[in-house]
Chains A and B, each alone.
Chain A
């Protein structure tokens, strides 16, 4: 254990701080959710130039071209969090598609897509889930049939986040209907303006349409839109799912949230006394702090494992499950300490932070379900982490609950 950074890293930290001091006036607000905001795009440009976004992506595709360095990545994240400034754009395009293309894309695909994606100009959505294929993603049925130089796509995706704003979709389709289910899937890139695509926003419990239904009727895309080979889509998609899970549950963010709740508890008074004086709520606060601290240390351990190029093992497998649950519980506490004020939402008179904690409380539940539900995470932890056997699977159609 040595938590001191060598001079090289201390210098780097000073550099990041210097950058933030002179530039943070131009940063968009953390709650700026619009994917096309001018301010966000301008900020992304500045970050790319300085290597605080797409730091290790090749220069030729618009990245900064730095050597991968888990410690520097951590320092950047820490300093941005400390300054309360949003980092680079973190959509599914940058976090999931770009790494996939770098690993498995053709030169032409890399050339065409990576640069505009990194700059934030090209927005992507992830077309995996279908009405009949959620946790059991490999049972997906949206069909792509080759006709001349095109794939012709028919079917439906669902829960597709940001599809209503996206330029492009990376999508899983069934191209080999006769192959075993995992071997019949292909990974293709679809321009959302292609005729035959219909996007219907789905209102969620938060009151926003975070996701959509996407319908495909005879949608034609060139066969060159495929990433990897036909029938290899499952493997290609799994490369990105790994990236998605790494994306969730940032431990510094959790501690930041915790400090905000402590601030609320100091500020809000009931019968003349600050809430922080209430021993029961305080106990809940510190209980969550201890958990957030444990997750932070787990994250530090993962940073070291990554910088040593060692496998992360159990410490990595648990992050999505524990991180999302912790965030949800923190939102729950924030709402509870506010009492009646905790239920005020959006533009209600007297609402605190526009009811932000209610949004977190609901959205974090979505995070617990999406991207591999908590139960699926537990299956993964027990099977891959603890070596326990898979459940026996009944033959298709032989097993009904009623």
Chain B
């Protein structure tokens, strides 16, 4: 038994971290959010050189054949640097779904770079009255809301509820509405389809593929929040040592120390929990869905606490745009709502354990 990361996993995370530290620095993120520059694309190319998009792709398609744990380490690092990236959807969820369905064709296209998939599964988690897709022959119509991974997407992998289909971006009958979320580091879309050409995903175990995509997506979003929250805590501690009030660093005031201690004490166990939830996706299938629900719901509660508390430690400065701490705050906030908020996840977790009448 070894509960921890391997040398290779540490190296992977370290190399992605070192790259993002330079390439995804705050000023670049800010420019991207303000609609200038193409940071998402620059990072995509840089991460491609490090092999990041290939992590989950099977070796048969030229991928690295790694697991959700490695992907989670990458997500954590992306969250840490609030990096614009479609990774969670395009190279996490989509690849896992296509792998499960056994769709070698699409996997090869993703591996070659000719396809990048945004993912729309919102309706499989909780459908709204105005959304939902219906397939008719080779076409699909209706609305897919909150489609993730839109940055750089060439295609969208969508659910009709029990079936996965792919539509091409910009094809006839595919119209997209870009959403303005609180977190602008990643782009979300709502798609309206009107008899758009749909290619079906291979195989017929789509329900299972979809389940795995949702589980893994939840783990990756939790990891993203872990990285963002850890960075906020580090920034808070660092700031408190530099800032003097009443002739002493605010880090020496117990109220400030205790805020930081509470953040650290709540956050550190999340790390172990997310490692396990990620590992379970590939190695403990009977616990995969439950652990994804528990890990994301818990991480989002802790993440919210860290986001507000770390901001408080910075005083008025924390509230400014200038410092940019709010990018992390908002990243954590958006992750909380995606693929199921804490209450929804806990209700699912209860159901998975038969805790329901």
Q: Which A residues fall within an 8 A CB radius of B?
A: 1-5, 9, 71, 74, 262, 265-266, 273-274, 276-277, 279, 282-283, 285-287, 289-291, 293-295, 297-298, 300-301, 303-305, 314-315, 317-318, 321-322, 375, 377-379, 381-383, 385-392
Known: A3-B284, A297-B275. A378 touches B262 (CB 8 A): yes
Report Cα–Cα, A390/B248, bound state, in Å: 11
Question: Cβ of B298 < 8 Å from any Cβ of A?
Answer: yes
Question: Cβ of B187 < 8 Å from any Cβ of A?
Answer: no
Residues of B within 8 A of A304 (CB): 1-4
Residues facing A in B278-296 (CB within 8 A) are 279, 283-284, 291, 294-295
Report Cα–Cα, A389/B248, bound state, in Å: 10
For the complex of A and B, list the 6 residue pairs with the smallest distance between their C-beta atoms, beginning with the closest: A277-B357, A297-B272, A382-B257, A290-B298, A378-B261, A294-B269
Report the stretch among B131-139, B170-178, B347-355 that lies at the interface: B347-355
Interface size class of B (residues with CB under 8 A): 35 or more
Name the contact of A321 in the complex, choosing from B1, B248, B265 (C-beta under 8 A). Answer: B265
Report Cα–Cα, A283/B355, bound state, in Å: 10
CB distance from B136 to the nearest CB of A (A): 37
Question: Cβ of B19 < 8 Å from any Cβ of A?
Answer: no
- Since A1-B3, A274-B357, A289-B294 are in contact, a sample of 7 more A-B pairs with Cβ atoms closer than 8 Å, ordered by chain A residue number, is A5-B1, A282-B350, A286-B347, A291-B298, A300-B1, A300-B276, A391-B253
Question: Cβ of B356 < 8 Å from any Cβ of A?
Answer: yes
Residues of A within 8 A of B248 (CB): 392
Contact status B347-A283, CB under 8 Å: yes
Question: Cβ of B18 < 8 Å from any Cβ of A?
Answer: no
Contact status A286-B260, CB under 8 Å: no
Question: Cβ of B254 < 8 Å from any Cβ of A?
Answer: yes
Chosen A-B contacts, 19 in total, with CB atoms closer than 8 Å, are A282-B350, A282-B356, A286-B350, A287-B301, A290-B273, A297-B273, A297-B275, A298-B269, A301-B272, A301-B275, A378-B265, A379-B258, A381-B265, A386-B237, A388-B257, A389-B241, A389-B249, A391-B253, A392-B248
Known: A287-B297, A314-B268. A379 touches B257 (CB 8 A): yes
Contact status A305-B346, CB under 8 Å: no
Q: Which B residues fall within an 8 A CB radius of A?
A: 1-6, 69, 237, 240-241, 248-249, 251-254, 256-258, 260-262, 264-266, 268-270, 272-273, 275-276, 279, 283-284, 291, 294-295, 297-298, 301, 342-343, 346-347, 349-350, 353, 355-357
Contact status A386-B261, CB under 8 Å: yes
Known: A286-B297, A304-B3, A389-B251. A297 touches B350 (CB 8 A): no
**Chain A residue nearest in CB terms to B265:** A318
Residues of A within 8 A of B283 (CB): 1, 3
Residues of A within 8 A of B2 (CB): 1-2, 304
**Chain B residue nearest in CB terms to A273:** B357
CB distance from A389 to the nearest CB of B (A): 5
Residues of A within 8 A of B237 (CB): 386-388
**Chain A residue nearest in CB terms to B296:** A290
Residues of B within 8 A of A266 (CB): 355
CB distance from A295 to the nearest CB of B (A): 6
Contact status B272-A290, CB under 8 Å: no
Contact status A285-B1, CB under 8 Å: no
Residues of B within 8 A of A287 (CB): 297-298, 301, 342, 346
Contact status B298-A276, CB under 8 Å: no
Residues of B within 8 A of A392 (CB): 248, 252
Name the contact of B1 in the complex, choosing from A9, A262, A375 (C-beta under 8 A). Answer: A9
Report Cα–Cα, A63/B159, bound state, in Å: 62
Residues of A within 8 A of B272 (CB): 294, 297-298, 300-301, 315
Residues of A within 8 A of B270 (CB): 294
Residues of A within 8 A of B297 (CB): 286-287, 290
Residues of A within 8 A of B1 (CB): 2-5, 9, 71, 74, 300, 303-304
CB distance from A14 to the nearest CB of B (A): 16
Chain B at the A interface: SS class: helix
Contact status B257-A378, CB under 8 Å: yes
CB distance from A17 to the nearest CB of B (A): 17
Report Cα–Cα, A59/B291, bound state, in Å: 43
Report Cα–Cα, A354/B209, bound state, in Å: 49
Report Cα–Cα, A274/B355, bound state, in Å: 10
Report Cα–Cα, A282/B355, bound state, in Å: 8
**Chain A residue nearest in CB terms to B263:** A386
Contact status B4-A305, CB under 8 Å: yes
Contact status A318-B264, CB under 8 Å: yes
Residues of B within 8 A of A262 (CB): 353, 355
Report Cα–Cα, A9/B2, bound state, in Å: 12
Most buried by B among A262, A273, A294: A294
Contact status A297-B3, CB under 8 Å: yes
Contact status A276-B279, CB under 8 Å: no
Most buried by A among B248, B260, B264, B268: B268
Contact status A283-B343, CB under 8 Å: yes
Residues of B within 8 A of A286 (CB): 294, 297, 346-347, 349-350, 355
Residues of B within 8 A of A1 (CB): 2-6, 69, 275-276, 279, 283
CB distance from A285 to the nearest CB of B (A): 7
Report Cα–Cα, A303/B272, bound state, in Å: 12
Name the contact of A375 in the complex, choosing from B5, B253, B258, B357 (C-beta under 8 A). Answer: B258
Report Cα–Cα, A303/B254, bound state, in Å: 31
Report Cα–Cα, A92/B356, bound state, in Å: 42
**Chain B residue nearest in CB terms to A6:** B1
Residues of A within 8 A of B5 (CB): 1
Residues of A within 8 A of B295 (CB): 290
Known: A294-B273, A297-B3, A389-B251. A276 touches B260 (CB 8 A): no
**Chain B residue nearest in CB terms to A300:** B3
Report Cα–Cα, A377/B2, bound state, in Å: 28
Report Cα–Cα, A290/B347, bound state, in Å: 12
Name the contact of A389 in the complex, choosing from B252, B342, B355, B356 (C-beta under 8 A). Answer: B252
CB distance from B293 to the nearest CB of A (A): 8
Report Cα–Cα, A309/B254, bound state, in Å: 32
CB distance from A241 to the nearest CB of B (A): 18
Residues of A within 8 A of B355 (CB): 262, 265-266, 276, 282, 285-286
Residues of A within 8 A of B347 (CB): 279, 282-283, 286
**Chain A residue nearest in CB terms to B256:** A388
Residues of B within 8 A of A3 (CB): 1, 3, 279, 283-284
